[in-house]
Structure 1
Amino acid sequence: MNGIRTIASIKKSIEGHIGEKVTLKANGGRKKILVNDGIIESVYPSIFVVRLEDETQRTVTYSYSDVLTRTVQLHFPG
C-alpha cells in the first residue's frame, strides 16, 4: 500500500482485495504496535471490516483515513 495518497484510491485498492488475506499493523497507542493476520470481509463508504484469524475470530473496523495517516498499515501477501 505504498505510494497511495488519497482516500478514494485507498478505498479502491482495499475493494480489490475483499476476501483476501492481509497482515495488519495497527498503532495501539503508548508505543504498542499490534500485528494481526486477517481477511478483508467487507468495504463500506467510510470504513472497512477485517476478520482476524486468531482464536477469538473477532472483527475489527478501520477507516480509510487510518490507512492514509499510517495509523494502520496493510500488507498483502505476494
Structure 2
Amino acid sequence: MKQPENMCKVRNTVVNNVGRRVKIKANKGRNKVDIAEGIIAQTYPCVFLIQVEGELAESVKTMSFSYTDVLTKEVELVLC
C-alpha cells in the first residue's frame, strides 16, 4: 500500500510544476541516456507531457512519461 502514496506524491509534484522548465534524464536501456530540457506542458492521470525545443527554432518535440517512470528512477526530473 505504500507505493500508491508515493505515486500520488510524484503526480502532485508534477502537477504543481506545470509550465515550469525542467531538465530530463531518461534511461533508454543498454547504456543509452537521453538528456533534454523542456517545459511540463500537460498532465493526465497516468502520464505527463513535456515539450522540448528541437535544433531548429520552429520544431517542438513532445515527450510523454509516466509517473511510474519517475518513481522507478527510469526518468529523473530536475527543476531549472
Query: After TM superposition, is the score higher than 0.5?
Result: yes
Q: Which secondary structure state, in structure 2, belongs to the residue aligned with residue 67 of structure 1?
A: helix
Q: Does 1:14 align with 2:14?
A: yes
Using the TM superposition, give the Cα deviation of residue 41 of structure 1 relative to its aligned residue in structure 2, in angstroms.
0.1
- For 1:72 and 1:54, the matched residues in 2 are separated by 20
Equivalence for 1:64: 67
Q: Kindly indicate whether the alpha-carbon contact (under 8 Å) linking 1:48 and 1:62 is maintained by their aligned counterparts in 2.
A: yes
- Identical-pair percentage: 34
Q: CA deviation at 1:54?
A: 2.1
Task: Give SS of 2:9's match.
Answer: helix
Deviations 1:18-66 (CA, angstroms, capped at 9, x unpaired): 0110000001111011100000000000000000122231101000000
Question: C-alpha distance in 2, partners of 1:57/1:70?
Answer: 25
Over aligned residue pairs, what C-alpha RMSD do you find? 1.2
Residue type of the alignment partner of 1:63: S
What TM-score, normalized by structure 2, do the two folds share?
Answer: 0.86
Runs of 5+ consecutive residues of structure 2 not aligned to the other structure = none
Gaps of 5+ in 1: none
**Which of the pair has more CA radius of gyration?**
2
Residue identity matched to 1:72 = V
